[in-house]
Structure 1
Amino acid sequence: MAPGIDFLRNELGIDGRDLTLRWSGQISLTRRILAVNILALLLLAGGFFYLDSYRSRVVDNRVAQTAREARLIGEAIAAVDPAIRDPLVLRFARDTGSRIRLFDATGRTIVDSRALGLRNFVLMDPDKEDWDQTIARFLDAAIDVIVMAPRPPLYRERSGAQQWPDVAAVRGRSIVSTTVWRAPDRTPVLTAAAPLPIGGVVMTTVNARDITKTVRIERFRLSMVLLVVSIVSILLSLFLARTIVRPLRRLARAAVRVRLGRAREVVVPRLPSRRDELGMLARALSDMSLALRARIDATEAFAADVTHEMKNPLASLRSAVEGLSRVRDPALQAQLLEIVRDDVHRLDRLLSDISEASRLDAQLSRAKFEPVDIAAMIDGLVAQRDTRGVERGIRVVFDRNPDERTIILGEGARLERVFENLIDNALSFSPDTGLIAISVIAEHDELVIRVEDEGPGVPEEAREDVFKRFHSVRPDSETFGQHSGLGLAIARTIVDAHQGSIGVESREDRLCGARFVVRLPLAELPE
């Protein structure tokens, strides 16, 4: 595998394990953004439940206060002369805001602050209140249902002392009894009964509207805060959805059109103004679509070139075969058979090179790169040619520094094919008794390999064309059809897969001939 592939898989999560979504993967991104923000709002709405706890604590404190007041009132009434008892009851009723009643031992009412003319305990009729109070009562009931708060009994006047549970609870006992009731307008009513030291019971009744008013004011303030936060949160969610989801949808639509085979018509938006991850994604998809389009164009051009290159030997082969059926001269038949053999060999070589060129990208993408000593490889190639003998007296010289680092990461067999093609190309163009010089030198983080010959060289305007597929300019002395025109194209594909470069440069010595230069990244030294 090419260097960096494993890193990209880990960095980008190509295997998908770190991007797996379960149930949320079935929900659109817009709804997920809204859901996350609404969840935060629901947590804020939990403050309404805190208000219920606050109300319960206030009611408990008021119940305790009412019990103390009932006991103190009873003790004070028992300590004064009966002649001033009624004025004292009125004074206590005004100060505490409650209705005070005294019952004797038989349960008969002997004093009632209302009968004395003080009507400070009046229950509100909900049917006569404004609409805002109706909404407030509805919210009270809804929150009580949600938090499952205990529902106090409805307050109603009793005709006798024994019908009041607090009076019945304290009769004959030295305790104070309290009860929380519910008024028709859902405000709490507190009753408390305490025994009189002289016999009988004192009972106080108060409508604690201030508790409900305080809770409703706090709830209104919290509602306003929640409303403002909700509006801001929803607007932010829609903003995020607009800035994230809409570009993603555009990219998805463009990707679908590319998948449907209309890649030439699709312009994937690059979002140049965005410097975030979406901008990176858009530009990556755009580059990918352009690369795909270039690959499609290259494939079509390659197919057309293959067809064109195969037509020539096939036409020659067909002509020779047709001629064999008509020619009776043995010499001409032998000549035609030689043409058939040459064309078959040419087709075989052409098909082999085409097969290798078409599979090369896929094979290199799966290749496992290992340390390769380029100097040792070239030294071995030169030694093999010397052993076999080089035609036309051409000399192949390899120059290297034994102490120089020449190890790269790559696939040895493919790199060997690169330098074999370069040497073959140099041999083809070299004159008789010519010199082919090969050098290897490390420059910074690159290994530079130069292959020089003494042939006619490559014109500057054709230095890129020689690496195109089926581009074949051969020397006059070479028999037609010995090369497919794919050797240098295959070499460039292999070098590009190794993150290197190959090209033709001018010779520094100003001599005639071609110089092919290969640059490959050096392998990092182990620490």
Structure 2
Amino acid sequence: MARIKTDTAAEPEDAPLVWSARWSLTTRILAVNILAVALLAGGFFYLDTYRTRLVDTRIAVMVDKLAMFDVALEAARPDQRQRLIGEFTRVTESRLRFYDTSGRKIDDSFAHAPPTYTLRDPDLQPWKRDVARAMDRGIDWIVGAPDYPEFEEPANDRAAAWPEVMDALRSGEEATRFRYAPERTPLLSATRVVDLERPEVMLMTLNARDITRTVRAERFRLAVVLAMVLCASVLLSLFLARTIVRPLRRLARAAVRVRLGRAREVVVPRLPSRRDEIGTLARALSDMTQALRERIDAGEHFAADVTHELKNPIASLRSAIEGLERVKSEEQRAQLLGIASEDVRRLDRLVTDISDASRIDAQLSRTHFEPIDIGLMIESMLASRAARAEQGAAGPRIAFARPRRGTATVMGDGHRLERAIDNIIDNAISFSPPGGLVCIAATRLGDEVHVRVDDDGPGIPAAQREAIFRRFHSERPDGEAFGRHSGLGLAIARAIVEGHGGTIAARDRDDHQPGASLLITLPAREGGEA
């Protein structure tokens, strides 16, 4: 399996959740979608400004109409005054009152013509109107609309009952007011000072129910849109919660069961139909759980194998020590001491190899890889062997086809790679007959570096070519003393090679001669010479 090195320093840290840390994912999805609806609800604020613009426009029109009517009154004969007032109020659907400088009402359009509007009593209206007014008050409160005064028809209709009339009398300028009629429709008023035979103040009032109808209609349309968007948002949130939160919850439950030590019983859903990030996460968790199962099984098997392998030398050592107490012959005592010494060396070798085999993965995950020239490394190893004369005069010869300097370069841990290749060479030497030849070759092929070790031994049957890399494999050459090898050499070599992203395999020799060939394949260093 290829080794993956993760640089945690390069991973950006997730920003911590502050105000939403305790919210579930479903709640967050709903909150985000409803927030978007709330932003749309800001249209109610716009409707308030829309109503204000309508009122301001209507008041401006009233002021302009009063100015034009003032001109018309100045041009009209006195006997045309009443008819002109009636025609003006009928067309504008308004009411005109006239007050003199003393504040007394001197004329009223409703006194000599049918009323152009009627203030309705809310108590006599159906309940739907009460609901509409309650909604108007609620929305005005939400948007912070100004609290306009309620209108009441004055019992003593004099100028003092109308603040806008008094303002006009004092300043001589137009004055306007906005009030709510009893049924909560706008009642607008505007004044103008006219100077006919004597100064007078015209007061024009208008019950603009159409403004309320227009605003309510727009609010109703906006409410319908909001309701539809809210329903769609909630349904979308539930859909997202179903497609996102539910599978995440299933994965979390499976992960908890794995954490509780039930990895063999847990089936993590792989969600094969999903091609999004959740599907990727599900398959990654499933693969991780499978790898965890394999590691647990491998650990148990390794512990069982270690126990089995340690029992033999311990039993032999115990038997030799017990025999020392019974035998009297110095020759037998020396023989038993030799057996005990050999068993101690065997135990030491086993413990050392077991320790190395169990720590390789952890050590490689923390090792910083460096460029390693495989040719130079093997050449140095063989020079050390020659200096120690390990193979002896009658041992197999070693031939090395050295590659050109810098061509067979890999990224790795030189000490570990040297241990892997050394174990393979040891294995080849142990199976080669005296006077045989162990051939070593290192070369680069494309993006890979191949290291091949051939021996003149009996070869490896096809059925055993995978088994030889298992821990404590016991297939040894004929005539070798028992216990000289721990059975971990090739297993350690495979772990090291796979930790470097490479592979190792046994095969027949390329020249079809008797013997075995072990081939190591490693990724070549990027940018190196091909």
Q: Which residue of 2 aligns with 1:51?
A: 47
Q: Distance in 2 between matches of 1:113 and 1:22?
A: 67
Cα 1:173–1:81 shift into 2, 3 Å: farther
- Residue of 117, 131, 138 corresponding to 2:134: 138
Q: Classify the secondary structure of the residue corresponding to 2:111.
A: coil
- Do structure 1's residue 95 and structure 2's residue 97 form an aligned pair? no
Paired residues for 1:291-302 under 5 Å: 291-302=291-302
Q: 1:130 Cα shift? A: 3.1
- Residue of 433, 436, 445 corresponding to 2:435: 433
Q: Classify the secondary structure of the residue corresponding to 2:195.
A: coil
CA-to-partner distance for each residue in 1:453-478, whole Å, 9 max, x for gaps? 00011111000000000012111221
Q: 1:315 Cα shift? A: 1.0
Q: Distance in 1 between matches of 2:372 and 2:21?
A: 46
Q: Distance in 2 between matches of 1:70 and 1:178?
A: 12
Cα 1:497–1:3 shift into 2, 3 Å: closer
- Residue of 184, 187, 199 corresponding to 1:186: 184
CA-to-partner distance for each residue in 1:210-244, whole Å, 9 max, x for gaps? 11111111111111111111111111111111111
Q: Which residue of 1 aligns with 2:459?
A: 457
Q: Classify the secondary structure of the residue corresponding to 1:107.
A: coil
Q: Distance in 1 between matches of 2:167 and 2:405?
A: 109
Cα 1:19–1:313 shift into 2, 3 Å: farther
The answer (yes or no) to whether the contact 2:5–2:365 under 8 Å persists in 1 is no
Q: Which residue of 2 aligns with 1:175?
A: 173
The answer (yes or no) to whether the contact 2:376–2:405 under 8 Å persists in 1 is no
Q: Which residue of 1 aligns with 2:399?
A: 397
Q: How many percent of aligned residue pairs carry the same amino acid? A: 54
- Do structure 1's residue 71 and structure 2's residue 71 form an aligned pair? no
Cα 1:261–1:172 shift into 2, 3 Å: closer
Cα 1:106–1:75 shift into 2, 3 Å: farther
Cα 1:526–1:73 shift into 2, 3 Å: farther
Q: Which residue of 2 aligns with 1:17?
A: 13
Q: Classify the secondary structure of the residue corresponding to 2:177.
A: strand
The answer (yes or no) to whether the contact 2:407–2:528 under 8 Å persists in 1 is no
Cα 1:172–1:341 shift into 2, 3 Å: closer
Cα 1:513–1:173 shift into 2, 3 Å: closer
Cα 1:495–1:294 shift into 2, 3 Å: same
Structure 1 stretch displaced more, 159-168 or 268-277: 159-168
Q: 1:175 Cα shift? A: 1.9
* Structure 2: runs of 5 or more not aligned: none
Q: Which amino acid aligns with 1:379?
A: E
Q: Distance in 2 between matches of 1:80 and 1:172?
A: 27
Q: Which residue of 2 aligns with 1:227?
A: 227
The answer (yes or no) to whether the contact 1:404–1:442 under 8 Å persists in 2 is no
Q: Which amino acid aligns with 2:191?
A: A
Structure 1 stretch displaced more, 406-415 or 178-187: 178-187
Cα 1:457–1:8 shift into 2, 3 Å: farther
Cα 1:35–1:172 shift into 2, 3 Å: closer
CA-to-partner distance for each residue in 1:369-421, whole Å, 9 max, x for gaps? 00000011111112222233222241100013326711100000000001110
Q: Distance in 2 between matches of 1:409 and 1:518?
A: 14
Q: Which residue of 2 aligns with 1:382?
A: 382
Q: Which residue of 1 aligns with 2:124?
A: 128
The answer (yes or no) to whether the contact 1:178–1:192 under 8 Å persists in 2 is yes
Q: Distance in 2 between matches of 1:440 and 1:327?
A: 55
- Residue of 420, 423, 438 corresponding to 2:422: 420
- Residue of 463, 472, 475 corresponding to 1:473: 475
Q: Distance in 1 between matches of 2:127 and 2:228?
A: 23
CA-to-partner distance for each residue in 1:97-145, whole Å, 9 max, x for gaps? 0011223444333322222241122112222333333232222212222
Q: Distance in 2 between matches of 1:466 and 1:311?
A: 22
Structure 1 stretch displaced more, 289-298 or 151-160: 151-160
The answer (yes or no) to whether the contact 1:3–1:369 under 8 Å persists in 2 is no
Q: Distance in 2 between matches of 1:309 and 1:138?
A: 89
Q: Distance in 2 between matches of 1:367 and 1:379?
A: 24
Cα 1:4–1:293 shift into 2, 3 Å: closer
Q: Classify the secondary structure of the residue corresponding to 2:110.
A: coil
- Do structure 1's residue 288 and structure 2's residue 288 form an aligned pair? yes
Q: Classify the secondary structure of the residue corresponding to 1:519.
A: strand
Q: 1:19 Cα shift? A: 5.1
Q: Which residue of 1 aligns with 2:204?
A: 204
Q: Which residue of 1 aligns with 2:449?
A: 447
Q: TM-score, normalised by structure 1?
A: 0.95
Q: Which amino acid aligns with 1:37?
A: N
Q: Which residue of 2 aligns with 1:110?
A: 106
The answer (yes or no) to whether the contact 2:320–2:340 under 8 Å persists in 1 is yes
Structure 1 stretch displaced more, 65-74 or 31-40: 65-74
Q: Classify the secondary structure of the residue corresponding to 1:298.
A: helix
How many residues of Structure 1 are paired with residues of Structure 2 in the alignment? 522
CA-to-partner distance for each residue in 1:71-117, whole Å, 9 max, x for gaps? 33234234322222212211111011001122344433332222224
Q: Classify the secondary structure of the residue corresponding to 2:205.
A: strand
Structure 1 stretch displaced more, 492-501 or 388-397: 388-397
Q: Which amino acid aligns with 1:474?
A: R
Q: TM-score, normalised by structure 2?
A: 0.95
CA-to-partner distance for each residue in 1:261-314, whole Å, 9 max, x for gaps? 000000000010111111111111000000000000000000000111111111
- Residue of 97, 115, 118 corresponding to 1:119: 115
CA-to-partner distance for each residue in 1:465-514, whole Å, 9 max, x for gaps? 00000012111221100111000000000000000000101112221111
Q: Distance in 2 between matches of 1:161 and 1:382?
A: 122
